[in-house]
């Protein structure tokens, strides 16, 4: 169970998670969910998984997906991060119904533009007695804890709850400014989590908490529930790391309902941690967490989102690959498991490879161009701006390459030798190691045989037949020893597109030149 202060030890208990919906809360008739990141860094896979599950729940229930930005931390928030979050959702195809850049009835959708709303609500909470002024400094709180025999970091002790007006005035006369704290109830705070079942926070386990700093700045503990209330969010889906704040939000919601600010208590669902190496929570600073690094390596949105959906959820037994449409058709937040999910990069890549194979060949090529251009393999970043020769070669190569790459970042390695006009390609180290003592004589026999092939008969099937007869049947070489040196000469790689189709694409002259080039550089 997530802990925030020592007072929360053993504070919350959760029922075992089950795979069906028995005993779980019914969802509202019209679901309204939200995604509300803070613009404090590069988008990471945990953030995307949160957005994805909210999007999928909204699409499954034909509900509303609201996207807002929580940017009240001026010291950490940045415009660059804000723009990256927008870019991430656009690239992934996670569209939203209300919020940033699309508008809606409850704007503005950036917290930095809603300051007066929070001030007004805080004033109402104070006036009604749900909040109170707190003048204690952190040093004074620690000193009182030590004096009472408690650990220094035990947390706030409720000292200011019963301050008289004279005591408050004395603090004001000292020049102190009060924080505002919410009065926590003296009974348990319980709720039915959509993923974890019943969760109970014991009375006294959560101290009175600050909603407004002494300088007047509102905190997340106020702004987040107020925005949810005013935007009529009725299903809150978020990470397990925020579970410890839920009793605070519930207590505040009770007050907001009494004040007429909120209409109803939302349902809560807390998604499992995403774990990285060594069974540790995947940090946003881990390379595997960086969304744009995955894009740079050649993940496509369909593959990455498919994999992220598996971090806590499944579409069915023994089925890992599905479309976003199928995700929307089948997703139910109540089917998500509470157990931590492990981010397995190898499995993510394997699923991405499946989605690459499902692409229309023309779509595959167009998506690949940016990577080919980045790697200097083609002359332009878009399909239409390529040369006629480049387009012709890529169209011929697509059926050979598409089934063999797992990431779009691998296309350049496969296509580079086909697009190159070089008459010699220096073999990659692992390819050169594969060359055996027989490589020179194999190349000699291959060159002699291929030299006799007319240009109009230079086709993959006939080349395969010819070299099989010359090298395997007549020469007595095993296929690996017969064709390995030719593959290395043609592509410079140990693994390449199909050899004989590659030879057809690059043509007779370049093929023979590369065979001779390797022969001269053994």
Mean pLDDT of 170-183: 97
- Topology of domain 359-419 in CATH is Helicase, Ruva Protein; domain 3 (1.10.8)
pLDDT for residue 6: 32
Q: Is 284 annotated as a binding residue?
A: yes
Mean pLDDT of 374-379: 97
Q: What is the DSSP string of 349-384?
A: HHHHHHHHHHS-HHHHHHHHHHHHHHTTSSS-SSGG
pLDDT for residue 418: 97
> Where are the alpha helices (H) located in 32-114, listed in sequence order?
45-60, 79-92
pLDDT for residue 279: 76
Mean pLDDT of 409-421: 96
pLDDT digit string, tens, across residues 63-121 = 999 999 999 888 888 999 999 999 999 999 999 999 999 999 999 999 999 999 999 99
Q: What are the CA-CA distances from residue 289 to residues 161, 272, 294 (Å)? A: 43, 16, 8
Mean pLDDT of 11-21: 44
Is residue 8 predicted with pLDDT exceeding 80?
no
pLDDT for residue 20: 58
For 113-271, give the CATH class: alpha beta
Active site residue 284: yes
Arithmetic mean of pLDDT over the chain: 93
pLDDT for residue 11: 42
Catalytic residue among 119, 284, 337, 445: 284
pLDDT for residue 18: 38
Q: What are the CA-CA distances from residue 264 to residues 237, 250, 308, 406, 487 (Å)? A: 16, 11, 31, 47, 68
Is residue 17 predicted with pLDDT exceeding 50?
no
Question: Which band of pLDDT confidence, cut at 50, 70 and 90, is reported for residue 4?
Answer: very low
> Where are the alpha helices (H) located in 75-189, listed in sequence order?
79-92, 115-128, 138-147, 165-173
* CATH of the domain spanning 429-520, picked from 1.10.10.350, 1.10.3720.10, 3.40.718.10, 1.10.1200.10: 1.10.10.350
Q: What are the CA-CA distances from residue 409 to residues 115, 276, 343, 377, 406 (Å)? A: 45, 23, 20, 12, 8
pLDDT for residue 14: 41
pLDDT for residue 1: 36
Question: Which band of pLDDT confidence, cut at 50, 70 and 90, is reported for residue 13?
Answer: very low
Is residue 347 predicted with pLDDT exceeding 70?
yes
* % of the chain surpassing 90 pLDDT: 89
DSSP 8-state secondary structure symbol assigned to residue 110: B
Per domain, the residue ranges of the chain are: 113-271, 359-419, 429-520
Query: Could you tell me how far CA 185 lies from the centroid of its own chain?
Result: 38
Question: Which band of pLDDT confidence, cut at 50, 70 and 90, is reported for residue 278?
Answer: confident
pLDDT for residue 21: 59
Is residue 391 predicted with pLDDT exceeding 50?
yes
Question: Which band of pLDDT confidence, cut at 50, 70 and 90, is reported for residue 414?
Answer: very high
Three-state SS sequence of 270-318: EECCEECHHHCECCCCCHHHEHHHHHHHCCCHHHHHHHHHCCCCCCCCC
* % of the chain surpassing 70 pLDDT: 95
Is residue 31 predicted with pLDDT exceeding 90?
yes
d(CA 85, CA 31): 24
Q: Residue for token digits 């976003």? A: 324
Mean pLDDT of 435-440: 95
| Topology agreement, domain 359-419 and domain 429-520 | no
pLDDT for residue 405: 97
Question: Which band of pLDDT confidence, cut at 50, 70 and 90, is reported for residue 461?
Answer: very high
């Amino acid at each position: 169970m997530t802990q925030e202060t020592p007072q929360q030890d053993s504070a919350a208990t959760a029922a075992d998670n089950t795979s069906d919906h028995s005993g779980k809360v019914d969802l509202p008739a019209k679901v309204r969910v939200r995604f509300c990141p803070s613009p404090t860094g590069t988008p990471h896979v945990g953030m995307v998984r949160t957005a994805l599950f909210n999007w999928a729940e909204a699409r499954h229930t034909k509900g509303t997906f609201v996207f807002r930005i929580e940017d009240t931390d001026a010291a950490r928030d940045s415009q660059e991060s804000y723009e990256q979050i927008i870019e991430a959702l656009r690239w992934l195809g996670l569209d939203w119904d209300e919020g940033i850049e699309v508008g809606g009835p409850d704007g503005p959708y950036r917290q930095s533009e809603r300051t007066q709303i929070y001030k007004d609500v805080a004033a109402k909470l104070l006036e009604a007695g749900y909040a109170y002024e707190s003048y204690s400094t952190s040093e004074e709180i620690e000193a009182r804890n030590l004096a009472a025999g408690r650990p220094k970091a035990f947390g706030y002790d409720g000292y200011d709850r019963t301050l008289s007006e004279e005591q408050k005035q004395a603090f004001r006369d000292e020049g102190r400014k009060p924080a505002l704290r919410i009065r926590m109830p003296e009974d348990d705070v319980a709720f039915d989590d959509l993923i974890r079942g019943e969760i109970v926070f014991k009375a006294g386990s959560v101290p009175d908490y600050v909603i407004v700093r002494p300088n007047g700045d509102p905190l997340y503990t106020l702004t987040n529930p107020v925005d949810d209330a005013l935007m009529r969010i009725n299903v809150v889906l978020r990470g397990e790391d925020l579970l410890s704040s839920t009793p605070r939000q519930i207590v505040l919601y009770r007050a907001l309902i009494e004040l007429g600010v909120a209409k109803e208590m939302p349902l809560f669902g807390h998604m499992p941690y995403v774990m990285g190496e060594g069974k540790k929570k995947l940090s946003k600073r881990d390379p595997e967490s960086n969304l744009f690094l995955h894009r740079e390596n050649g993940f496509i949105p369909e593959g990455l989102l498919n994999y992220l959906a598996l971090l806590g959820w499944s579409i069915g037994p023994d089925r890992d690959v599905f479309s976003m449409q199928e995700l929307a058709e089948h997703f139910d937040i109540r089917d998500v498991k509470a157990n931590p999910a492990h981010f397995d990069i190898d499995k993510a890549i394997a699923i991405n490879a499946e989605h690459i194979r499902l692409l229309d060949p023309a779509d595959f090529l167009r998506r690949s161009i940016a990577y080919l251009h980045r790697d200097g393999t083609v002359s332009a970043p878009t399909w239409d701006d390529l040369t006629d020769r480049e387009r012709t070669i890529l169209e011929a190569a697509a059926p050979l390459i598409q089934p063999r790459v797992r990431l779009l970042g691998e296309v350049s390695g496969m296509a580079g030798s086909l697009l190159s006009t070089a008459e010699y390609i220096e073999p990659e180290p692992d390819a050169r190691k594969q060359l055996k003592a027989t490589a020179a004589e194999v190349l000699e026999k291959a060159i002699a045989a291929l030299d006799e092939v007319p240009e109009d008969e230079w086709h993959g099937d006939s080349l395969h037949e010819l070299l099989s007869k010359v090298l395997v049947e007549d020469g007595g070489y095993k296929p690996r020893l017969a064709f390995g040196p030719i593959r290395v000469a043609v592509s410079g790689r140990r693994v390449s597109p199909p050899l004989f189709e590659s030879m057809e694409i690059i043509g007779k002259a370049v093929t023979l030149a590369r065979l001779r080039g390797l022969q001269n550089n053994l």
